[in-house]
Amino acid sequence: MATLTTPTGNAMPNQKYAEELIQNARAIVAPGKGILAADESTGTVGKRLASIGVENDESARRNLRELLFTSPQIEDYISGVILFEETLYQDGNDGVPFVKLLQSKNIIPGIKVDKGVIVLPGTDGETETQGIDDLGKRCAKYYEAGARFAKWRAVLKISETCPSDLAIHQNAYGLARYAAICQENGLVPIVEPEILSDGTHGIEKCAAVTEKVLSAVYKALSDHHVLLEGTLLKPNMVLSGAEAEQADIRSAAFLTARALSRTVPPAVPGIVFLSGGQSEETATAHLTAMNQIEDINKPWALSFSFGRALQASALKTWGGKTENLKAAQDAFIARARANGEATLGKGDVEAKGESLYVKDYKY
């Protein structure tokens, strides 16, 4: 009798991790749960720590991640955590490895595997992502360390000349190569073609570009024989440019869901949105509104993979002070709970807060 894993159809033949990949991808997008993106590079987390007057050293980075990972009830709302390489091999202050801590809570550890972006020659400052050359070896090493999914961020921008066909092609096929290599080594690939919100463009422009980019990405994934059931998509939401007047929450949610319904195959188990510098409240409101839509077919789970939109309040509340630990954890869990409920279509779609937008944002 045929199953999801046999026969494989167009997907990679002899995929020894197929069942595990499918199982883990589904677990990450379980109802009411989503991903905590805690994969900021040493430089980026340093900026976060500097904002609260804390020096960027290993101890401070450990304390911040430990604050999040040990929050009571985190496992009720967080199914996976994306780690930076340092954190994957780091122990908590009690000597317990962070990977084991997460696993003890049935939270799946993941790992950022790209090495940042470089300028793509022949374009108007567009970029492609580095890290393919030794990716297979690194994925095997990360799997051995306990990681079960990975993230690779491709970055595109909107302007009068962008994104170019060249940038779309290079980034789509880079994502596909990454995804195939991850699956060969047992890691569920999160496919992240982020279209930056920088600019003055309107929401219809973002919708059109998002559809074009996602169509190219899924063509590339098919060409590379990627097992779609063992992948997740991490896209931008369809929004106006950060410097333009913003559409209302429900309109943005509708256009986002419509773009996805036109481009993302139903074989994909889930879509985990990036927040893209929205305020904590607005990112959650958009996710809630998308899950409330009834007149667009949504065969995949719609969930979250938020960094700033889960951590900002907790970081500000903590301020690097031990006496603020519980209050900071409460702030983090409040955001995690709100986003977990948003995956079920529950919550306030009119909520607003302070924007976390950073132009040309880098992890």
- In the residue annotation, 245 being an active-site residue is answered as no
Count of other CB atoms within 10 angstroms of residue 305: 30
CB 313 within 8 A of CB 331: yes
CA dist 296 and 222 (Å) reads 24
Q: Which one-letter amino acid corresponds to residue 133?
A: D
Q: How far apart are CA 216 and CA 127, in angstroms?
A: 16
Q: Could you give the 3-state DSSP secondary structure of residue 339? A: helix
Q: Which of 33, 234, 280, 281 is catalytic?
A: 234
CA 209, 212, 215 angle in degrees (round to 5)? 145
* Degrees to nearest 5, angle at CA 301 with 146 and 224: 65
Structure tokens at 225: 């024989």
Distance between CA atoms of residues 54 and 245, nearest Å: 35
Sign of CA dihedral 135, 136, 137, 139: positive
Catalytic pick from 192, 211, 229, 280? 192
Distance in angstroms (rounded) separating the CA atoms of residues 38 and 289: 25
Using the structure block, give the residue that is written with the tokens 């570009």.
Answer: 209
Instruction: For residue 192, indicate whether it is catalytic.
Output: yes
Which residues are annotated as catalytic?
192, 234
